[in-house]
Structure 1
Amino acid sequence: MTVTIYHNPRCSKSRQTLALLEEKGAAPKIVDYLKTPPSAAELKAILKKLGLKPQDIVRKGEARYAELELKERTVSDDELIELMVENPILIERPIVVAGGKAAIGRPPETVLTIL
């Protein structure tokens, strides 16, 4: 089974999740999503595996969220996905995908349920 982690090496939860995966014997494909963001289609597929909507994985505390005035305006799911692709800092991290499942590593142990 292929395991992929959408990872931000500057994020402590992301580093902890990666370490946990490696400790459990997984050799995940590491995607530094800030440098290589998922496409809109990839993000939609990840959301489907998570069973979540785009607004569920937006980092509302990020400065970019405020700059884009996302709290003050209504955007469609497709618009929000495009904004996350253009501004990957808005995507919650880390996200681990394994087979047909995905989980957000907050807390890191959450990802063990999909291995």
Structure 2
Amino acid sequence: MAVERPMLFHNNATCSKLGAALAMLRARGIDPELVDITATPLTAAELRDIVAMTGRPARELLRIGEPSYKALGLGDASLGEEALLDAMASHPELVERPLLVHGRRAVLGRPPERLLSLFGDA
């Protein structure tokens, strides 16, 4: 049975988490399309859709260890979803990865085994 090609958004092709995630998916016959979000940043609207697909708040998809997180004051709990989405769209390094979108569902691959939940394997 052929699996619809999902899209795996990532920041860095040499990221160790990405490598583990890809190996796990490919071992199951799933070969996602890779999109480097630093070369092809997501818009705030695309991020809004992906956040909705995960069922999680935007804050949970932020990389809090990035220098831009602190520089932009994103630790301020009073910032709303739109402000966080705008920050991630302007600073793609802030988007947590790997992030897999399949159909109308998306999941953050931390740990990588979570990705399999999109295919009924987790």
TM-score by length of 1: 0.91
Q: CA RMSD in A?
A: 1.4
Structure 1 position 65 matched with structure 2 position 69: yes
Q: Which residue, out of 28, 33, 46, partners 1:29?
A: 33
Q: CA separation in 2, counterparts of 1:4 and 1:58?
A: 19
* One-letter amino acid matched to 1:52: R
* 5+ long unaligned stretches in structure 2: none
Q: Deviations for 1:53-82, whole angstroms, at most 9, x for unmatched residues?
A: 111111111111111122247322111101
Corresponding residue for 2:114?
110
Structure 1 position 6 matched with structure 2 position 12: no
* One-letter amino acid matched to 1:94: P
Corresponding residue for 2:93?
89
Q: Deviations for 1:66-110, whole angstroms, at most 9, x for unmatched residues?
A: 111222473221111011011011111000011121111111111
* 4+ long deviations beyond 6 Å: none
Q: CA separation in 2, counterparts of 1:64 and 1:73?
A: 16
* One-letter amino acid matched to 2:39: K
Q: Secondary structure at the match of 2:35?
A: strand
Corresponding residue for 1:53?
57
TM-score by length of 2: 0.87
* 5+ long unaligned stretches in structure 1: none
